[in-house]
Amino acid sequence: MEKSAIYINNISFAYPSQKPIINNVTLNIQKKQFVGIFGPNGAGKSTLIKLILGLLKPSRGKILINGQALENFQDWSKIGYISQKAASFNSSFPATVEEVIAAPLLSKSFLPKITGNIQKKIERALSLVDLLSYKKSLIGNLSGGQQQRVFLARTLITEPEILILDEPFVGIDQTSIKLIFNTLKELNDRGTTIIMITHDLRWLKEEIDLLVCVEKGSIHLHCPVNFKNHVMYHNH
């Protein structure tokens, strides 16, 4: 388990008085891997991520992050997460791109002032997503794709070791999709573990190290054969 970024050991999850959404799942995600989690809508992909992030508690099984049991894991700044909901924020919220990106770092201090060190980190993160010139713009004035890039930059500012993205390409333009994917690839080359959820196979490219196919019910689902490695599990 030494090289394991996330180790999921035989977990199950069900909402009260409902059928299990996740059933006896075991998965080992190695450090520095680029992992795609694929499956149709409602297959349990987002639930699996919420279990990893501790937002939901498994009814059975264990999850280890960087070798530590989830319930003892403290260093959440090492985990970056962009949720499906990120892009559906209140678009008339009066905040600049800079203020949104600085939030994870500023929330650790009392002063609302962006200091030189934080300013440098903001500029580095914005350069990565090619939005440096939008630093002072109101976030609501940006396109959907640009907003998603801002959320990626906000996640990158804490320099996470593991980056989890839940359907990052839904409803955004091709330029932004290409840019986000290239940024993810670059981060992965530098050692960041990437876990990307999608229901659309077009976004899972050859660069992916591992493809996990999530399927609900008993219908058999085949992962595409042209991927180097794949793991499958079924929820019954």
In the complex, which residues of this chain contact other proteins (CB under 8 A)? 53, 55, 74, 76-77, 79, 81, 83, 85-86, 89-90, 92-96, 99-100, 103-104, 106-112, 136, 138, 154, 158
- Closest to other proteins by CB, 161 or 215: 161
Least distance between other proteins and beta carbon 119 (Å): 15
Least distance between other proteins and beta carbon 103 (Å): 4
Q: Exposed/middle/buried for 12, CB within 10 Å: 0-12, 13-18, 19+?
A: middle
Least distance between other proteins and beta carbon 68 (Å): 15
How far is the C-alpha of 231 from the C-alpha of 20, rounded, in Å? 20
- Closest to other proteins by CB, 31 or 78: 78
H or E segment to which residue 127 belongs: helix 116-128
**Cβ neighbours of 230 (radius 10 Å):** 16
Tell me which residue of 89, 92, 160, 87 sits closest to 121, measured CA to CA: 160
Which pair of tokens denotes residue 144? Answer: 């959907």
Q: Give residues with Cβ within 8 angstroms of 100, minimum separation 6.
A: 139, 150, 151, 154
How far is the C-alpha of 114 from the C-alpha of 105, rounded, in Å? 9
- Closest to other proteins by CB, 140 or 224: 140
- Closest to other proteins by CB, 155 or 198: 155
Least distance between other proteins and beta carbon 47 (Å): 15
- Closest to other proteins by CB, 83 or 198: 83
Least distance between other proteins and beta carbon 222 (Å): 33
- Closest to other proteins by CB, 81 or 203: 81
Least distance between other proteins and beta carbon 70 (Å): 13
How far is the C-alpha of 226 from the C-alpha of 107, rounded, in Å? 44
Which pair of tokens denotes residue 123? Answer: 């500029």
Task: Report whether 87 contacts 147 (CB < 8 A).
Answer: yes
